Amino acid sequence: GAGVSQSPSNKVTEKGKDVELRCDPISGHTALYWYRQSLGQGLEFLIYFQGNSAPDKSGLPSDRFSAERTGGSVSTLTIQRTQQEDSAVYLCASSLRTAGEKLFFGSGTQLSVL
Amino acid sequence: AQSVTQLDSQVPVFEEAPVELRCNYSSSVSVYLFWYVQYPNQGLQLLLKYLSGSTLVKGINGFEAEFNKSQTSFHLRKPSVHISDTAEYFCAPRDGGTALIFGKGTTLSVSS
């Protein structure tokens, strides 16, 4: 596609339920990031995939959060047993391999945990 | 891994005034530096970047930033702001192939 695609755009769930957020990066982009954006917290790094290398998971806030990237393309971020503090906009971004390349961001998934 | 500090969470200015948004990062042998902007109800986009060479880099919409290695800073400036510059601005340093970490952002509010 022309840009980074995220789905769903909005997700409302009940506390304790699991959710899956999907990201479809730009074709040919080997780097993929997940960030979380909430008021007063800026852009919080969650996880980074680069090609076939082991992902950098250092930003995941707890073991309830996990992500995978299948076939070097689509990525899924899973949040288990959601909590109200997980409510935020979850952003995905992709870029070409080199470190100086700019990131292209998706429109995000607004997650609301009731 | 890099760490980054945006020293001002909010910067209110009047139209046509100059503005500086401050950013400091942790020291590194080599670092790439980025500023991203998020306009109201829009996605993030790249404003400018420093990879190497001239320490003064120019970006879109009349913004520029200066890389200062001794002070580990990459402050963003514009000599005369417009209402349309109202947005949130994020500084992001990067070591080589590591993850891109963003600062907490600075909200620039331009009023007439």
**Chain segment A99-109, per-residue pLDDT in tens:** 778 999 999 99
Q: Which residues of B touch A107 (CB under 8 A)?
A: 43
pLDDT for B3 = 84
Rounded to a whole number of angstroms, the distance between the first and last alpha carbons of chain B is 41
pLDDT in the model for residue B98: 80
User: What are chain A's domains?
Assistant: 5-96 (2.60.40.10)
The residue extents of the domains of chain B are 4-111
Nearest to B101 among A41, A45, A100 (CB): A45
Span A23-69, pLDDT tens digits? 999 999 999 999 999 987 789 999 999 988 899 999 999 999 999 99
Of the pLDDT bands very low, low, confident and very high (cuts 50, 70, 90), residue B59 is very high
**Residue B103, both tokens:** 């600062």
- Beta-bridged to residue A47, according to DSSP, are A34
Residue B66 clears pLDDT 60, i.e. is over it: yes
Q: Is B83 helix (H, G, I), strand (E, B) or coil?
A: helix
Query: Which position has the higher pLDDT, A98 or A65?
Result: A65
What number of C-beta contacts closer than 8 Å exist between A and B? 51
Compute CA B31 distance to the chain's CA centroid, rounded to the nearest angstrom: 15
Most confident range, picked from A99-103, B12-16, B67-71: B12-16
Query: Which CATH superfamily does the domain covering B4-111 fall into?
Result: Immunoglobulins (2.60.40.10)
Classify strands A10-13 and A109-113 as parallel, antiparallel or unpaired.
Answer: parallel
pLDDT at A98 over 80: no
Chain A partners of B43 at a C-beta cutoff of 8 Å? 105-108
Residue contact B94–A45, C-beta within 8 A: no
